[in-house]
Structure 1
Amino acid sequence: MSGDGSPAKMRWSIERRLEFIEFRLFWEGRVNRSDLVDFFGISVPQASADLGRYQEVAKQNLAYDKRAKSYLVTREFKPVLLELDAQRYLAQLRLIANGILPKEESWLGWVPPYATVPSIARSVDPVKLRKVLDVIRTGSAIHVEYQSLSRPDPLWRWLTPHALAFDGFRWHVRAWCHTRNRFQDFVFARMLSFDETRPDQINAEHDIEWQRFLTFRIGPHPDLETAKRNAIELDYGMQQGEISVETRISLSFYFMHRFGLDIDPKDVQPERQHIVLLNREEIDEAQKRARKETAALASGYIHKKMRNRMIGYDVYLLERLSGTM
């Protein structure tokens, strides 16, 4: 242990095993050597050594019970390696339920009875994902056959991706569209096929809607009865009747739609829409301002692209004329 009372620097693999010990102690109240042996595939002596190391770091957190043949959590338990987070525990349950994380790969030993509302999977082709990642990494544009909702047939267009985004239900590619001359989101699953790539100079810093964040102030529906308002405030952990949530401007539409914040409270019954947006005018103004700034910054790129096209066309004409002389 270091002089300031924190654990001394150690190898990552050992640190992970000590964190595992602390995780099991807090959430399940016990841990033993076989837990470490089974999960990490280490030897029994190594597991004993890890438990000994943890005792050196946090002796007050566990005590060996001969009858249970396990180390049990003590009333004096205080985490020294992990920041206790209920979301981390519950997230593992969700991942197991969705088939993303095999139970044996989670840190959960005993799993409580639980159920989750099923989600409809939005598939992402791993080969296409790898291709998009390559294009983002190299700062290139890619020719994509894309099926939009506004057209009956797919359209080939050049895109310059610079980021990935998840809206709570599906993954998008954030990209400059060379057809519409603007930054926008493209649903991964609607990218039907890819063609060639080429270098591109679009500056992702000019995507103000991506670069800038908004803070949403959210509170209970004003027409809820007092008891129901109190319940909603508890549900969302509100302080003084509201919570603040930050998100990128480019994701704000999805955020508002997902939680019903895009609906005017006057147009919906409070029993159906428990929470409302408290700073709607501020959000609307910030969204409009970001779109305007993005368009202004992108105009230089558009003009440069058009100028290069004109220069290229002039060169083409000169070559044709010189060839006929």
Structure 2
Amino acid sequence: MKHETIKPSQRKRYEFIEFQLMWEGTIGRKLLKDKFEISLQQATLDLTSYLDLEPKNMTYDPRQRTYVAQSNFRPAFVEGEATEYLQHLEMLHHGYRAADEIWPASVPEFDAVRMSSRKTDPVILKTVLRAIRNRHCVEVMYVSLSSESESPRFLYPQAIASDGHRWHMRAFDSDKERHSDFVLSRIEKVTIKESDVKEIPEDDEWSTIVYLRLRPDPNLAERQRERLEVEYDMNDGELLLQVRQAMLFYYLRFYGFNPLEVDGGMIRNKSSFSLNIVNLEEIERCLKRRN
């Protein structure tokens, strides 16, 4: 209850204080002042008011002239998860934030895989977004890697989605009478057809939620299975994922499965991350494979 009336701007500064205590072990007035462009007086007020709220989390060290985290530190404004720290490094690495905009006070040496950007024309994206908002048809010149057809396609965009590597347009294909995914970077030209309006069937695969149940490969040694259960934060030895049926193929690939590699008429039930699908038959039915 004591935290519910705190203003959002104040809460954000408390989150920063806890972030520093969690990962750096200290927090001082100047760092708080510079990060949020506030006065030293305000920074002092923030630190003392935080100390009033969470007196067991930090103490002032006159020798270092800064606040230091206590051994029984327990965050109240942040989760205290490793992802909170690592996301700042990812934002810096991908250029979403500058070095003075992320929260780690001392950035360690690090590197990360930088995916080659799938270039999407902003004009094409704006047109697709407009068609989604207004429920319009678009005429599209699309370069498909599975077909050499160069004829225009008439599509009704419904949503956009990412498979982790590239962005797709989820659209109803009026020629094939089905909803499909179209890679945005493969659209060469798109034109709104405002006058061509029709009733679009419900995209059942988009609106249907599928439960994907994963577990460590039972052939692993017990110690290895236990490690995977901790790594994926499993409950009772399983990782339960709620995914859109339309996104199921991409989730399977994300967790190291190759849905196109079939054994006995179904997915080969072993991922590159040593995981198995518990409900394999159900997942196979949900994939609705097409030739």
Residue 134 of structure 1 is aligned with which of 126, 130, 133?
A: 130
Mapping 1:22-61, distance limit 5 Å = 22-61=18-57
Q: Provide runs of 4+ in structure 1 moved above 4 Å.
A: 201-204, 263-273
Contact 1:143 1:197 in 2 (8 A): yes
Question: Which 10-residue stretch deviates more, 260-269 or 108-117?
Answer: 260-269
**Which residue of the partner structure matches residue 180 of structure 2?**
184
**Unaligned segments of structure 2, at least 5 residues:** none
Mapping 1:283-294, distance limit 5 Å = 283-288=283-288
Instruction: State the superposition RMSD in angstroms.
Output: 2.8
* CA displacement at 1:147 relative to structure 2: 1.0
SS at match of 1:18: helix
Query: Structure 1 counterpart of 2:280, which letter?
Result: R
TM-score normalised to the size of structure 2?
A: 0.85
Contact 2:256 2:272 in 1 (8 A): no
Residue 119 of structure 2 is aligned with which of 116, 123, 128?
A: 123
Question: Which 10-residue stretch deviates more, 26-35 or 223-232?
Answer: 223-232
Query: Structure 2 counterpart of 1:285, which letter?
Result: R
**Which residue of the partner structure matches residue 275 of structure 1?**
275
**Which residue of the partner structure matches residue 207 of structure 2?**
211
CA 230–76 in structure 1, closer or farther in 2 if over 3 Å, else same = closer
Which structure: greater helix fraction?
1
CA 233–180 in structure 1, closer or farther in 2 if over 3 Å, else same = same
Contact 2:155 2:172 in 1 (8 A): yes
CA 164–61 in structure 1, closer or farther in 2 if over 3 Å, else same = same
Contact 2:269 2:277 in 1 (8 A): no
Contact 1:64 1:70 in 2 (8 A): yes
Contact 1:217 1:243 in 2 (8 A): yes
Separation in 2, partners of 1:131, 1:102? 31
Contact 1:224 1:271 in 2 (8 A): no
Q: For the pair shown, which has the larger CA radius of gyration, 1 or 2?
A: 1
1:13 corresponds to 2:9:
yes
1:170 corresponds to 2:158:
no
Query: Structure 1 counterpart of 2:74, which letter?
Result: K
1:77 corresponds to 2:67:
no
SS at match of 1:115: coil
**Which residue of the partner structure matches residue 247 of structure 1?**
243
Separation in 2, partners of 1:40, 1:201? 51
CA 101–80 in structure 1, closer or farther in 2 if over 3 Å, else same = same
Contact 1:96 1:102 in 2 (8 A): yes
Percent identical: 33
SS at match of 2:140: strand
Mapping 1:277-316, distance limit 5 Å = 277-288=277-288
Contact 1:160 1:202 in 2 (8 A): no
* CA displacement at 1:241 relative to structure 2: 3.2
* CA displacement at 1:166 relative to structure 2: 1.0
Query: Structure 2 counterpart of 1:88, which letter?
Result: E
Paired residues in the alignment total 285
Residue 192 of structure 2 is aligned with which of 184, 191, 196?
A: 196
1:157 corresponds to 2:124:
no
Query: Structure 2 counterpart of 1:48, which letter?
Result: T
Residue 234 of structure 2 is aligned with which of 229, 235, 238?
A: 238
Query: Structure 1 counterpart of 2:167, which letter?
Result: W
TM-score normalised to the size of structure 1?
A: 0.77
